[in-house]
Amino acid sequence: MDIHLLQKTLEEYRLKFFDDLLNIAENTKTNPGQNIRISVMECAEYEIVLVKWHGISRSPMHVHQSKTVDNISISCVYVINGKILQSIRKANSKEIYLSIAKEKDLITILEDEEHEITSLEDSITLNIYSPPAYNRQV
């Protein structure tokens, strides 16, 4: 799936279901240190996941890979609210690039990028993954 089409799909979904997404996130209870991941839409090409981050928390450094040779893995993260720190390391590189994303910012992650997301406060993100989880390995 083309990166621009993926970004457009995420934006359209966010606009159409913004109030519903906020309602789901706000009414989902979290325990201290626990992040909640809710798959809100899945089809053959992509999966959309709502993530409610609890306080300062982070994902481990990881890479998304497609299980099929002919398909690359792309993901985008849209910050609905809060603030996150994105750490990206390109394949075969020792340099790590840091960027802070806040409300309404969009981050794109390509298959050859090892990355880590750190929530700097309670945050809600809408993530889209292509391909969906059943055809992707982390």
Q: What does the pLDDT read at residue 70? A: 60
Each residue's pLDDT tens digit, 28-48: 887 777 889 999 999 988 999
Residue 70 tokens, joined = 């002919």
Q: Is 135 helix (H, G, I), strand (E, B) or coil?
A: helix
Q: What does the pLDDT read at residue 133? A: 67
The CATH code belonging to domain 3-132 is: 2.60.120.10
Boundaries of every domain in the chain: 3-132
Residue 44 tokens, joined = 């053959």
Each residue's pLDDT tens digit, 94-103: 899 999 999 9
Query: pLDDT over 70 for what percent of the chain?
Result: 88
For 124, what's the count of Cα atoms within 13 Å in the CB-facing half-sphere? Answer: 18
